[in-house]
Amino acid sequence: MNPTHDDERTRIRKAMDRLLTGQATLSNGSLTATALAVEAGVHRMALMKRHADLKNEFYERVRTETRQVPEPEKRLRETVARMKETIANQKAEIEDLRQQVTRLALASAALTYERDNPSPIAPASGNVIAFPRTES
């Protein structure tokens, strides 16, 4: 490892401690990787790529030391909940459409049968007059 790399890691660890104790000096103090990068004075992508282990360690410390769920995990859980709700709604809609297709197919079959097999006209009673069937 080079000295710059070691220096970054040291700054990130110190920034972790400051954020977890609520003594942020450079960032807004939120418990996110972005705030950690700002607090440590390193580029965010450097934290995500070169120091991913420290980012994961930070989130683990957030969970254990503050008993909080990290912000990215909260957003992910909300997204998963919304997606599960969407899937449930789509499954219900698909089931309704399947039932509708079945009903329409049965109605079509009944109409086709009725067209192909006309029934005799029932005798009219009283003042009711039957309309003659027209063949198409």
Q: Which long-range contacts (CB under 8 A, 24 or more apart) does 37-45 make?
A: 39/15, 40/8, 40/11, 40/12, 40/14, 40/15, 41/11, 41/15, 42/8, 42/11, 42/12
Residue-wise pLDDT tens digits, 84-130:
999 999 999 999 999 999 999 999 999 999 888 877 666 656 777 77
55 and 76 share one domain: no
Cβ pair 20, 13 in contact under 8 A: no
Residue-wise pLDDT tens digits, 43-88:
999 999 999 999 999 989 988 888 888 888 888 999 999 999 999 9
The reply to whether 42 falls in a domain is: yes
Cα–Cα distance, 81 to 76 (Å, whole number): 9
Residue where one domain finishes, among candidates 51, 68, 85: 68
Domain with 54 in it: 3-68
Output the pTM of the full model: 0.55
- CA 9-23-42 angle, to 5 degrees, is 30
